[in-house]
Amino acid sequence: MIDYRIKSVENFSGKIGELVSMLEHTRAVTLQEVKGLSQDALDFFVDESSNTIGSLLLHIASIEFVHQIISFEERDINNDELQKWQAALELGPTARKQIRKKDLEYYLNELAGVRERSLYKLRGYPDEWLFEEKQWDNGTLYNNYYLWFHVLEDEINHRGQIRLLKRLISDNRNNNSPNLR
């Protein structure tokens, strides 16, 4: 059951607990949105430049993973990590070729594994950590709160794309269209 209240989650500092509440609510809605999707639905794409629901789910996991590395380890992803996540991070043609033929359980496991680490790590930080300022190589200032806000906004944005793709899939099925790839 989805909780429609933002409140501080137990075992986290106050503001981090609120952030966790938002992360968990956002994920619960995403999981509800993709519940029961078939492999065909996960691999469906509209045209040669669109993304699939499967690639969007893996992208959501990859963004959270990268933000873990940046905020918890204060570094960029390394080559091994990039090799695993690059297609999902960048989406586009490579993702369309590589992120296919996986069932929903695969994507749910990837999302859950990344989230489990986020929650484990977030338990160890005080609220002040959210506001620690850092600077990217180009001189732009940011803080950890922004990084985790971005995790939220990215998932919400791509969930909107998932909803659109589901409507298109439904339209194709209702019209007996051969375009459901």
Mean pLDDT of the chain: 94
H or E stretch covering 135: strand 133-135
Q: Which letter does DSSP use for residue 8 in this model?
A: P
Of 124, 145, 169, 120, which is closest to residue 22 (Cα–Cα)? 145
- Domain chopping of the chain, boundaries: 14-174
Its pTM stands at 0.93
Cβ-contact 30, 153 below 8 angstroms: no
Cβ-contact 11, 21 below 8 angstroms: no
CATH 2.70.98.60 fits 14-174, yes or no: no
How much is the pLDDT for 177? 54
Note the pLDDT tens digit of each residue in 136-164: 999 999 999 999 999 999 999 999 999 99
Note the pLDDT tens digit of each residue in 85-114: 999 999 999 999 999 999 999 999 999 999
